Structure 1
């Protein structure tokens, strides 16, 4: 069995894979949101026999007793019991109504998170995607209504952009943005995605790539460009630049 993890302040994201994964009966104090990326899982939850096919998501509340057998690759999100209240996503405890859901929208968001877990510099983007998963799962599968999102406005969007552009070479977190602007993280994400079509950290990465293109065009080396735009190294810049423009920085500089 192999595992890759991202550990945040009050959450953990793990990708686990093997020829066949088997989990004996156990309980978590946390919320556990998992998606079967590959394989069909037969499980027992609080004494009931259930099945979670490939692409299905399981939504476990704290304290539920579970066991599983059969899945090959699973992505799990672990949240502290008071996560939703501390993060101001809900005014009281959240209860997931359905333990197993077949939701293509939710599955796609989990899949997009898998590759992020393997990218060492993407903790901020991982948290962004985590909140998108929570937003969707809470709105569709919980009993509790959560706190209303603050009204969006152009002025706040502008402030977020100014902050991200002023720190273009830095790894800015959602905590920092929401803290400086007085927004809860879920409200921030909803507001920004509604206005720009993508989350704020992703938007900043797009701007970093655009700035890298501008610097390369002036003749600045790829290694210096990577440093100035906040990429870990030249190979990291090359990967993201290639995804955006279809060519490497070196080839771009050659014209």
Structure 2
């Protein structure tokens, strides 16, 4: 493991009240307990030993953790250096409404196992988890969170409902909204409510039609306007603020990713 000292970082984001934990434990022992939320995560180093459904399980790096609400389990070091992991704790009522499309609040999806060695999904989870911690943009966080959750739950056999029809008109209306308000902080929930689609389904149909997510499309629009302003002689700071970026460093990262050079090089 890269980390040599124990650490714990806890973050809560507005989207679904999701709770994010990043930690390394070398001596911590969690007694048998359960959560009232889904506990989803990835072991990124070392190994964790867990009692789950009457037997003990061991998971190392690259293992995806999936525990349903109410499931009794514990957590112990399974390696001399303990284990390092990233976890998401999610409200089942929010998931029912946002991901599963259930009007009632009682549905609980039961995973078949607590651990599964899935390196590609684990890598995706780690990348998204880090981005969720760092992103100041609600639209980006919602897109990342729902995209990740759909992969985790569909991999376990959960049925994610689809909506048939209205897609082309819905995509055009969302594009028009993003183009008109590219400099505003628009949430995925707001965009979805404009066209009467579930947020996750909106991401899917938008990607299928446009090729990128609504958040990425908004970033493209902002960077295009930043380029226009820089060509006209605006300062980098003014262009960043005018186009809705939280700060200049955020804009610079997005600019280089899209254009290939820094705003300073582009403006020179």
Matches within 5 A, 1:30-41: 30-41=37-48
Matches within 5 A, 1:48-197: 48-70=55-77, 72-87=83-98, 89-91=100-102, 92-142=107-157, 144-151=158-165, 153-197=167-211
- Which segment drifts farther, 240-249 or 155-164? 240-249
Distance 1:140 1:206, change over 3 A: same
Alpha carbons 1:15, 1:73 under 8 Å: kept:
no
Where does the alignment leave 5 or more consecutive residues of structure 2 unmatched?
1-6
Tell me what 2:50 maps to: 43
3-state secondary structure, aligned to 1:51: strand
**What is the rounded CA distance, in whole Å, between the counterparts of 2:112 and 2:207 in structure 1?**
27
Where does the alignment leave 5 or more consecutive residues of structure 1 unmatched?
none
Query: Could you list the per-position Cα deviations for residues 157-199 of structure 1 after superposition, in whole angstroms to 9, with x for gaps in the alignment?
Result: 1111111121111221111111111111121111112223332
**What is the rounded CA distance, in whole Å, between the counterparts of 1:3 and 1:188 in structure 2?**
32
Alpha carbons 1:217, 1:253 under 8 Å: kept:
yes
- Which segment drifts farther, 224-233 or 144-153? 144-153
Alpha carbons 2:18, 2:88 under 8 Å: kept:
yes
3-state secondary structure, aligned to 1:121: coil
Is it true that 1:228 corresponds to 2:235 in the alignment? Answer: no
TM-score (norm 2): 0.84
**What is the rounded CA distance, in whole Å, between the counterparts of 1:152 and 1:108 in structure 2?**
34
Alpha carbons 1:11, 1:77 under 8 Å: kept:
no
Distance 1:129 1:61, change over 3 A: same
Distance 1:243 1:147, change over 3 A: closer
**What is the rounded CA distance, in whole Å, between the counterparts of 1:123 and 1:21 in structure 2?**
36
TM-score (norm 1): 0.88
- Which segment drifts farther, 3-12 or 215-224? 3-12
**What is the rounded CA distance, in whole Å, between the counterparts of 1:247 and 1:210 in structure 2?**
14
Alpha carbons 2:99, 2:150 under 8 Å: kept:
no
Distance 1:215 1:73, change over 3 A: farther
**What is the rounded CA distance, in whole Å, between the counterparts of 1:205 and 1:238 in structure 2?**
12
**What is the rounded CA distance, in whole Å, between the counterparts of 1:237 and 1:146 in structure 2?**
34
Tell me what 2:23 maps to: 17
Q: CA deviation at 1:9?
A: 4.6
**What is the rounded CA distance, in whole Å, between the counterparts of 1:196 and 1:102 in structure 2?**
33
Distance 1:60 1:241, change over 3 A: same
Alignment equivalent of 1:216, drawn from 230, 233, 239: 230
Alpha carbons 1:41, 1:54 under 8 Å: kept:
no
Tell me what 1:203 maps to: 217
Distance 1:146 1:236, change over 3 A: closer
Tell me what 2:4 maps to: none
